[in-house]
Amino acid sequence: MASGFETTAEEYISHHLVNATFGRFPDGHERAGQWGFAGSGSEAESMGFWALHVDSLGWSIGLAIFFMWFFRRVAVTAAQDPAAIPTGLRNFIETLVEFVDGMVKSVFKHPDTSYVAPMALTIFVWVFFMNLMDLVPVDLIPYIFQYGLGVEYMKIVPSTDPNITMGLALSVFSLIIFFSIKQKGLGGFLAEISFHPFGKWLLPFNLILEVVGLLAKPLSLGLRLFGNLFSAEMIFILIATMYTGLLLGLFGGLLQFAWAVFHILVVPLQAFIFMVLSVVYLAQAYEEGEEH
């Protein structure tokens, strides 16, 4: 909280937790029925399900376009001259591709990795970049948007938005279901969640157990990423409230730096965990259930 802006710490924090929400104003609002950006946190909440976090989604897609552009450029040069000596960016991206490929091949035993490996790469790089946004000083971009462009709310770390993390997790989950059914057939898939682990005489119990196990996969995936990044972002914001005087401000700056250094560890780690678990879950979708 920079001095000169008349806000309390509470207002500051809650301001940082509101997304730029685009939606339809609800009944009872002065602009009821119209579409527009929410002017406050409670307004954003009242818009219900049919609203969009323009900031989260915008940054998320923007980052994806950003790194995909690099990847595509390397892919084009690679296709033109496959045997050339790689330099700079190409070297880096090939290292990354090799790393992901090795990881996928060690976990995913099915020979066809044509979709799992690109998916793992996309997840890893995307989540990494989304997490990396956390290292941008908390107020820098929001203030530019607020005082330069007149945008009231701006959250720039997509992975602190549960919509984004759960969106990724549910996408992976839908792939798990899709490939389970594709690999084992609908009957095989249903049999797997009905007759394990206790045989057909305890079917309801099996069903509860397996469905809970199945649903735990996307939940744990999405909530782990969200929880880690949200808490880290929260600490950045809390430290930022210390910028009230010179001495405390300096101390706060030191804390910000220390936390950022620690956070450097969290950024790739969470991206890596998300990728590995996605691949592991998909590998399980391909596994034939053991006989009973």
Nearer to other proteins, 39 or 167 (CB): 167
Q: Report the site for other proteins in 17-36 (rule: CB under 8 A).
A: 17, 19, 21, 23
Contact between 270 and other proteins per CB under 8 A: no
Q: Annotate each residue in 147-186 with x if it binds other proteins (CB under 8 A) or - if it does not, as one string.
A: --------------xxxx-xxx-xx--x------------
DSSP per residue over 64-118, as a string? HHHHHHHHHHHHHHHHH-TTSPP-HHHHHHHHHHHHHHHHHHHH--SS--TTHHH
Instruction: At 174, list the tokens.
Output: 């839908």
- Considering the candidates 60, 224, 231, 278, report the single residue annotated as catalytic: 224
Instruction: Examine residue 83 and tell whether it contacts other proteins (CB under 8 A).
Output: yes
228 is an active site residue: yes
The torsion angle over the Cα atoms of residues 44, 47, 50 and 52, rounded to 10 degrees, is -20
CB neighbour list of residue 13: distance below 8 Å, 6 or more residues apart:
237, 238, 241
Q: Which is nearer to other proteins, 7 or 174 (CB)?
A: 174
Instruction: For residues 132 and 284, give the distance between their C-alpha atoms in angstroms, rounded to a whole number.
Output: 30
Work out whether strand 35-37 and strand 51-53 pair parallel, antiparallel, or are unpaired. unpaired
Q: Is residue 56 near other proteins by the rule CB under 8 A?
A: yes
Each residue of 225-257: b (16+ CB within 10 Å) or e? bbebbbebbebbbbbbbbbeeeeebeebeebbe
Q: Which is nearer to other proteins, 77 or 183 (CB)?
A: 77
Contacting other proteins (CB under 8 A), which of 6, 10, 49, 247?
Answer: 49
User: Is residue 133 packed enough to be buried (19+ CB in 10 Å), middle (13-18) or exposed (0-12)?
Assistant: buried
Stretch that binds other proteins, among 27-35, 70-78, 135-143, 183-191 (CB under 8 A): 70-78
DSSP type of residue 36: E
Question: Whole-number minimum distance, CB 32 to other proteins, in Å?
Answer: 18
Give the range of 52-60, 190-198, 200-208, 247-255 binding other proteins by CB under 8 A. Answer: 52-60
Return the residue of 1, 74, 157, 240 that touches other proteins, per CB under 8 A: 74
Say whether residue 88 binds other proteins (CB under 8 A).
no
Q: How far apart are CA 201 and CA 199, in angstroms?
A: 6
Catalytic residue among 3, 106, 174, 220: 220
Give the whole-angstrom CA distance, residue 94 versus residue 280: 23
Q: How far is the CB of 190 from other proteins (least distance, A)?
A: 24
What mask, x for binding other proteins by CB under 8 A, covers residues 89 to 128?
Answer: ----xx--xx--x------------xx-xxx-xx---x--
Q: Does residue 224 have an active-site annotation?
A: yes
**Distance (Å, whole) CA 186 – CA 177:** 10
Outline where 148-245 has alpha helix (H).
162-194, 203-240
Active site residues: 220, 224, 228
| Contact residues for other proteins, defined by CB under 8 A | 17, 19, 21, 23, 44-45, 47-53, 56-57, 60-61, 64, 68, 71-72, 74-76, 78-79, 81-83, 86, 93-94, 97-98, 101, 114-115, 117-119, 121-122, 126, 161-164, 166-168, 170-171, 174
